[in-house]
């Protein structure tokens, strides 16, 4: 798998990604190349046009993409395809799977994932976007933020509130999930000018009277949060794989530069002050990868993997960030120049630290669920 994905990625070199980053243009050619060889359906069941492989395999693919130098510009361009539609795979009806999955596996439709809201942040239960039932349809009103790929997406998986929080059994009940057309007449998509990964847009969505047929509701009304929860661990595992890949791309460049750059009459890489941080990054990336593989194995075996998946996401994001920062420092002033690519990696390495969950919330989770400490939030 690694060799096959590497071969596709080798057609998209660092200059391709630097240009996409500069222009803020979606990497369509890259997306099409992966779709053409069937990679976008890696986790989608074979009956619906995919390969039916596990998260372990998907993680190999995503790590390889990021490590090729595509970083998060490449990984995020396809991330949603890989596991985003898991709620449809698990909870969708036969009719929904036949209708929704094959176009995504074939790369004919792009999907975005609309959960985060400006007034709720990490407290998903507080989301305010309402879906109101009117006859055989729902009408959605509200706002979302940070929704990646909404500029290019045809469809969105959107979490809404159908029962007001005060009337719900518990705060996370009363939320309902839809997979539906992103109708731009009813959804204004406003791009956020952001720090990195300009090739893959992130947006504010303003939703005004969006009509959604009942057939686009995934599973039962009010159980959307449970369905989303199911996909959270695999998503953390894939983000971890992408962060490890990005860190490795940075480390490869740093080591190559340290061998070549001669100052004070010898390669800078002959100095231990240059070598040791790079060696440390290598070890931390390897360790993060092992934790990620443990989590992926547990998930694919049906073993609870919450602690490993969260730990993998945390460790990989921090190791990836450190490798990117070390790569910039190894390059000295040149590290700050776009031509050497590592500054782009450093900007992108912030994304897996923040999304889809922050390091603080992972620490809270481990403290509570693994160590049995009182819930702090
Ligand atoms: C590039 C990018 C792409 C994204 N793509 C998507 C997407 O496609 N779809 C989507 O739905 N979302 C997306 N997100 C949103 C992302 O998942 C959120 O930004 C993230 O979950 C954090 O939420 P927030 O920004 O509202 O932070 P907040 O909830 O406002 O938190 C702010 C800070 O306070 C800390 N904090 C909050 N509460 C506590 C507490 N109790 N204890 C300790 N610390 C606390 C947090 O850890 C964080 O550091 C994306 C974000 C980025 C940056």
Q: Average model confidence (pLDDT) for the chain?
A: 97
| Cα-to-centroid distance, 307 and ligand 1 (Å) | 19
Q: Look at residue 82 and give its three-state secondary structure.
A: helix
Number of neighbours of residue 64 by Cβ within 10 angstroms: 23
Question: Assign residue 182 a region: left if phi > 0, alpha if psi is -120 to 50, beta otherwise?
Answer: beta
Please give the distance of CA 376 from its chain centroid, rounded to a whole number.
26
Which residue's CA is minimally distant from atom 41 of ligand 1?
Answer: 377
> 195 C-alpha to center of ligand 1: Å?
15
What gap in Å lies between CA 184 and CA 153, rounded to an integer?
A: 10
CA of 217 to the centre of ligand 1 (A): 26
Is the predicted pLDDT of residue 193 greater than 90, yes or no? Answer: yes
Alpha helices per DSSP H over 85-223? 86-91, 94-105
What is the DSSP code (8-state) at residue 355?
S
Q: Do 278 and 272 meet the contact criterion of CB atoms below 8 Å apart?
A: no
Model pLDDT for residues 32-46, shown as the tens digit of each residue: 999 999 999 999 999
Nearest to 325 by CA among 342, 308, 310: 342
What was the pLDDT predicted at 230? 82
Answer whether the bond into residue 27 is a cis peptide, omega within 30°.
Answer: no
Split at pLDDT 50, 70, 90, the class of 83 is confident
Cα of 215 from ligand 1 centre, angstroms? 31
pTM value is 0.97
Cα 125 from Cα 165, distance rounded (Å): 8
Give 189 Cα–ligand 1 centroid separation in angstroms: 19
Find the 268 Cα to ligand 1 centroid distance in Å: 39
Q: Which of 356, 357, 365, 368 to mutate to test the pocket of ligand 1 (most atoms within 8 A of CB)?
A: 356
State residue 372 phi and psi, 5-degree precision.
70, 25
CA distance 350 to 324: 10
Q: Given ligand 1 and candidates 354, 366, 373, which is best to mutate, with the most ligand atoms within 8 Å of its CB?
A: 354
357 CA → ligand 1 middle, Å: 6
Residue with CA at minimum distance from ligand 1 atom 30: 121
Query: Residue 142's beta-bridge partner residues?
Result: 207
Pocket (CB within 6 angstroms of ligand 1): 113-116, 121-122, 146-148, 202, 351, 354-358, 360-361, 364, 377
Do residues 175 and 160 make contact, with C-beta atoms less than 8 angstroms apart? yes
Q: Please give the pLDDT value at position 131.
A: 98
Rg (CA), the chain: 21
Mean pLDDT of 6-29: 97
Instruction: Mention every residue, 6+ apart, whose C-beta is less than 8 A from residue 253.
Output: 327, 331, 340, 341, 342, 345
Residue 81, pLDDT above cutoff 90: no
CA distances to 84, 184, 332, 356 from 210, rounded to whole Å, are 22, 9, 51, 26
- H-assigned helices in 45-129: 55-65, 71-83, 86-91, 94-105
How many CB atoms within 10 Å of residue 336?
12
Tens digits of residue pLDDT in 304-356:
999 999 999 999 999 999 999 999 999 999 999 999 999 999 999 999 999 99
- pLDDT tens digits along 237-272: 999 999 999 999 999 999 999 999 999 999 999 999
Tokens of 198: 């300009």
Residue nearest to atom 27 of ligand 1 (CA): 121
Phi, psi of 2 (to 5 degrees): -60, -45
Best CA proximity match to 213, nearest among 137, 156, 140: 137
Residue 186 burial (10 A CB sphere; 0-12, 13-18, 19+): middle
For residue 149, the surrounding DSSP H or E stretch is none
């Amino acid at each position: 798998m690694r060799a096959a994905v590497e071969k596709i990625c080798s057609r998209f070199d660092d200059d391709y990604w630097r240009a996409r980053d500069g222009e803020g243009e979606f990497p369509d050619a890259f997306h099409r190349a992966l779709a053409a060889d069937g990679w976008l359906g890696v986790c989608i069941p074979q009956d619906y046009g995919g390969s039916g492989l596990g998260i372990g395999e998907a993680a190999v693919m995503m790590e390889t993409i990021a490590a090729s130098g595509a970083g998060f510009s490449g990984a995020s361009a396809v991330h949603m395809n890989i596991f985003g539609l898991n709620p449809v795979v698990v909870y969708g009806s036969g009719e929904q799977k036949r209708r929704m999955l094959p176009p995504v596996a074939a790369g004919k439709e792009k999907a975005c994932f609309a959960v985060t809201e400006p007034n709720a942040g990490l407290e998903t239960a507080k989301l305010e976007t309402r879906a109101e039932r009117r006859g055989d349809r729902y009408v959605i009103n509200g706002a979302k933020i940070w929704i990646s790929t909404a500029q290019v997406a045809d469809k969105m998986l959107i979490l809404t509130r159908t029962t007001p929080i005060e009337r719900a059994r518990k705060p996370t009940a009363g939320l309902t999930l839809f997979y539906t057309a992103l109708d731009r007449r009813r959804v204004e998509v406003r791009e956020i000018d952001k720090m990195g990964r300009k090739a893959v847009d992130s947006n504010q969505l303003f939703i005004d009277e969006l009509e959604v047929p009942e057939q686009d509701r995934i599973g039962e009304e009010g159980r959307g949060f449970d369905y989303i929860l199911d996909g959270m661990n695999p998503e953390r595992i894939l983000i971890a794989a992408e962060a490890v890949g990005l860190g490795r791309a940075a480390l490869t460049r740093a080591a190559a530069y340290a061998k070549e750059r001669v100052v004070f009459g010898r390669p800078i890489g002959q100095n231990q002050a240059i070598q040791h941080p790079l060696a440390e990054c290598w070890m931390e990336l390897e360790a993060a990868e092992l934790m990620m593989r443990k989590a992926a194995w547990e998930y694919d075996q049906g073993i609870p993997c919450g602690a490993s998946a969260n730990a993998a996401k945390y460790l990989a994001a921090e190791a990836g960030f450190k490798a990117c920062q070390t790569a910039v420092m190894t390059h000295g002033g040149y590290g700050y120049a776009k031509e050497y690519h590592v500054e782009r990696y450093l900007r992108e390495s912030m994304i897996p630290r923040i999304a889809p969950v922050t390091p603080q919330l992972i620490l809270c989770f481990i403290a509570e669920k693994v160590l049995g400490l009182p819930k702090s939030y």
